[in-house]
Amino acid sequence: MQLLDGTACSQQIRKEIATEVEALITQGKRAPHLAAVLVGDDGASQNYVGMKVRDCEEVGFGSTTIRLDANTTEDELLAKIAELNAYDGIDGFIVQLPLPPQIDENKVILAIDPSKDVDGFCPENVGNLSLGLPTFISATPNGIMELLRRYKVETEGKHCVVLGRSNIVGTPMAVLMSRNTNPGNATVTIAHSRTKNLKEVCLSADILIVAIGKTEFVTADMVKPGAVVIDVGQTRVPDSSRKSGFRNVGDVDFENVKDKCSYITYVTGGVGPMTRASLLQNTLKACQRRSNS
Ligand code: NAP
């Protein structure tokens, strides 16, 4: 079994990005700038945004965090998005999900200018992804593709089962794995909560990508010997032995599954750092596009 090390891989990507930022500065251009909008005080969301800001600092990007009260109305948030769309000093921005219940996430996603949608969530970018056109690919599936690419994991002709069909992970992941690219060219099955014989479906996977948000759902008896297993799941569970009071648990029973796999990711240091690296790649791309247009 080989661990797919997202931390090491993302460090390499950050180095590459920092070099590109230096080149932009040498050409007399400004550094890329990412803004993050955080609505409310959800602990996990604050943590994610904090990490994204630190990543920006590390590679030489500018960053802005916009903190809005948990009672912010939909109209107030849409007005802030219109401001960010119009402001030239920002290349890309994200609105950290989930949002409070009074705000319709879909309306928010639709309001973001596609050229600044570095999360790759808006219809134009999702459509371009499906058509194989240049786009901002949603950060988590893009990070997984990059991990497979850098570890030279063979995917062509393999049966890939993607467990979970969300708009931001499962569905774009399935599209990417089925495309005529490397990695890609896999035969893809999307499984979800209504899939029958889920255990058998998972057992048929050469590559199993799990994004359901159910702790340790995938057990050893669901994994084919030699399979590649990518665990996207990240659920906070209380843990009084930790200073933070919680720990993250993945969707895969890592301890019992790992010895059956050819490659596997762990909940910590796997997909998470790759997702953050992808956001930086998208922001750099947004900046380069804007400076070339
Ligand atoms: P989501 O929007 O809640 O979607 C979950 C998907 O899993 C749905 O398609 C659902 O099926 C399916 N599902 C739920 N229970 C199932 C079951 N028992 N059997 C089969 N399928 C089941 O979740 P998401 O946003 O894709 O996130 C999934 C997980 O990945 C979460 O733990 C999240 O925190 C994590 N995540 C991690 C990163 C990272 O960077 N590491 C990034 C994004 C997400 P239905 O469609 O039928 O309801």
Q: 61 with 90: CB under 8 angstroms?
A: no
Taking the centre of ligand 1 as the mean of its atom positions, its distance from the CA of residue 86, in whole angstroms, is 33
Please indicate whether the domains covering 28-113 and 139-272 agree at the CATH topology level: yes
Q: Mean pLDDT over residues 135-158, rounded?
A: 98
Tell me if residue 119 is catalytic.
Answer: yes
Residue with the nearest Cα to atom 8 of ligand 1? 164
CATH second-level architecture of 28-113?
Answer: 3-Layer(aba) Sandwich (3.40)
Residue pLDDT, tens place only, 54-113: 999 999 999 999 999 999 999 999 999 999 999 999 999 999 999 999 999 999 999 999
pLDDT attached to residue 68: 98
> Would you list the domain boundaries of the chain?
28-113, 139-272
- State the chain's maximal CA–CA distance in angstroms: 59
Its sign, for the CA torsion 202, 165, 132, 284, is: negative
Q: How far is the CA of 42 from the centre of ligand 1 (A)?
A: 19
- Could you give the C-alpha distances from 129 to 88, 132, 141, 188, 284, in angstroms and in order? 25, 5, 11, 16, 18
Catalytic annotation present for 52? yes
CATH topology classification for 139-272: Rossmann fold (3.40.50)
Q: What is the mean pLDDT of the chain?
A: 97
